[in-house]
């Protein structure tokens, strides 16, 4: 039986990129439901989403009346999804073959969690570009996976939910480390399947990193350096 894919996108204050993000998901060669959780955005994101929800039949949007953070947003979408495979999304740009590549990898290999490479672009200066390469993670050092390239079997998301202790980060590293600890098999594609926008985060990165560092070191025994 062929697997179905769900594209799951929590979003907060992403007016500059949300329209092209959703268009890139609509244009995927591998069609699937597009689930959006609007985390009480305070900019024009909400208005844009209302328009897009009327324009595209396969885009289903939930609006929150208070901000709850990406971790709770991802858990909500993971429960709501009907696909066997969940493609994690942020308000970035996804190349048309992303979903197809994800499902092909799950079909060919016995894996539970997928990731890939990503192109990077500075949101403040489009001329500043880079690449987040694919490296095989040893699970003994800081996570080398670019978060919005990840896809996973929905059963793992239901078994191991994202940790909801802060609205500043979804703590995806803790999710991935826990999945690995519980026996999940990881696989990757060396292709770059998306364009990730850097430098426009609406969250408190310093507080987010303090929580991540504590979890890395106290719960998984991985020593990581301070981030400025």
| Contact (CB, 8 A) for 173 and 143 | yes
Band of the pLDDT at 161, cuts 50, 70, 90? Answer: very high
Per the DSSP assignment, residues forming a β-bridge with 85 are 5, 153
| Contact (CB, 8 A) for 152 and 109 | no
Cα 76 from Cα 74, distance rounded (Å): 5
Band of the pLDDT at 103, cuts 50, 70, 90? Answer: very high
Mean pLDDT of the chain: 94
Give the SS3 label for residue 129: strand
pLDDT at 5 > cutoff 60: yes
Angle at 140 between CA 228 and CA 179, to 5 degrees: 100
More confident residue, 21 or 124: 21
For 41-50, 84-93, 197-206, which range has the lowest pLDDT when averaged over its residues?
197-206
pLDDT at 1 > cutoff 90: no
Angle at 15 between CA 10 and CA 19, to 5 degrees: 75
Taking the alpha carbons of 147, 151, 154, 155 in that order, is the dihedral positive or negative?
Answer: negative
Residue 174 DSSP one-character state: H
| Contact (CB, 8 A) for 93 and 24 | yes
- The predicted pLDDT at position 129 comes to 87
Cα 182 from Cα 176, distance rounded (Å): 10
Question: What is the token pair recorded at 123?
Answer: 């949101």
- The predicted pLDDT at position 200 comes to 62
Cα 178 from Cα 162, distance rounded (Å): 10
- The predicted pLDDT at position 199 comes to 74
Cα 6 from Cα 35, distance rounded (Å): 7
- The predicted pLDDT at position 227 comes to 66
pLDDT 10s digits, 23-65: 999 999 999 999 999 999 999 999 999 999 999 999 999 999 9
CA distances from 151 to 5, 7, 113, 128, 175 (A): 9, 9, 6, 27, 12
Q: Look up the pTM and report it.
A: 0.95
Nearest to 200 by CA among 133, 143, 126, 132: 126
Q: What percent of the chain has pLDDT over 70?
A: 96
- The radius of gyration computed from the CA coordinates of the chain, to the nearest angstrom, equals 17
> What is the rounded average pLDDT of the residues 14-29?
97
pLDDT at 152 > cutoff 90: yes
Band of the pLDDT at 202, cuts 50, 70, 90? Answer: low
- The predicted pLDDT at position 228 comes to 52
As a whole number of Å, the end-to-end CA separation of the chain is: 48
């Amino acid at each position: 039986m062929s697997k179905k894919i769900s594209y799951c996108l929590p979003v907060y204050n992403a007016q500059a990129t949300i329209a092209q993000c959703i268009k890139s998901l609509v244009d995927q060669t591998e069609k699937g439901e597009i689930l959006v959780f609007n985390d009480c955005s305070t900019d024009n994101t909400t208005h844009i989403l209302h328009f897009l929800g009327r324009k595209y039949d396969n885009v289903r949007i939930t609006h929150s009346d208070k901000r709850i953070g990406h971790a709770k947003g991802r858990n909500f979408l993971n429960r709501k999804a009907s696909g066997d495979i969940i493609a994690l999304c942020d308000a970035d740009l996804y190349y048309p073959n992303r979903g197809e590549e994800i499902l092909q990898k799950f079909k060919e290999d016995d894996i539970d969690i997928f990731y890939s490479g990503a192109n990077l672009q500075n949101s403040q200066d489009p001329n500043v570009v880079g690449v987040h390469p694919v490296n095989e993670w040893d699970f003994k050092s800081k996570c080398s996976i670019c978060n919005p390239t990840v896809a996973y079997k929905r059963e793992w998301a239901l078994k191991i939910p994202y940790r909801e202790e802060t609205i500043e980060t979804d703590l995806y590293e803790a999710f991935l480390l826990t999945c690995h600890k519980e026996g999940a098999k990881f696989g990757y594609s060396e292709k770059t399947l998306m364009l990730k926008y850097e430098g426009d985060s609406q969250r408190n990165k310093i507080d987010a990193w303090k929580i991540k560092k504590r979890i890395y070191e106290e719960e998984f025994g991985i020593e990581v350096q301070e981030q400025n």
